[in-house]
Amino acid sequence: MKTSYVDRESSEIIEEEEKMREINEEIERFKKETKQKKNIEEKREFVNRFEEFMAKYGPAFELNVIPTLEGPIVTGKANASFAFIQVIEGMDSDEIKECFTECTKAFGMELRRQLTKHRKKESSETSHCMN
């Protein structure tokens, strides 16, 4: 089973870069605004608005399983909203890329394990029925 990253078209890269710029600008605005919040109600309203803002950009990372005759290929793709993970977790781009790479590998290994387990189960049930 292969594990790889999806190659993107240049138009998709440009679109993600634009989203990333918008996200970073808005995060900076939110940071400034955070310093001005005084009471719990203002902070709660701020957190709700920030969570709505994050949700607008969708998933930070997507895994895909592509079936092939040699076995499934697991691919991963980071989206612009990974910038939120950078801010929330205090990680840089390389650290996040490493995490996503390892998660993609782990998913691929677990998928391989589950498929093998299913094949063995199916094989033993078939041989049991033959006897």
Residue 123: pLDDT band with limits 50, 70, 90: confident
3-state secondary structure labels for all residues of the chain: CEEEECCCCHHHHHHHHHHHHHHHHHHHHHHHHHHHCCCHHHHHHHHHHHHHHHHHCCCCEEEEEECCCCCCEEEEEECCCHHHHHHHHCCCHHHHHHHHHHHHHHHHHHHHHHHHHHHHHHHHHHHHHHC
Question: Which pLDDT value is given to residue 40?
Answer: 84
Kindly report the average pLDDT of the chain as a whole number: 85
21-72 pLDDT tens trace? 999 899 888 888 877 767 888 888 888 999 999 999 999 999 999 999 988 9
Over residues 100-125, the mean pLDDT reads 89
Residue 11: pLDDT band with limits 50, 70, 90: confident
Residue 16: pLDDT band with limits 50, 70, 90: confident
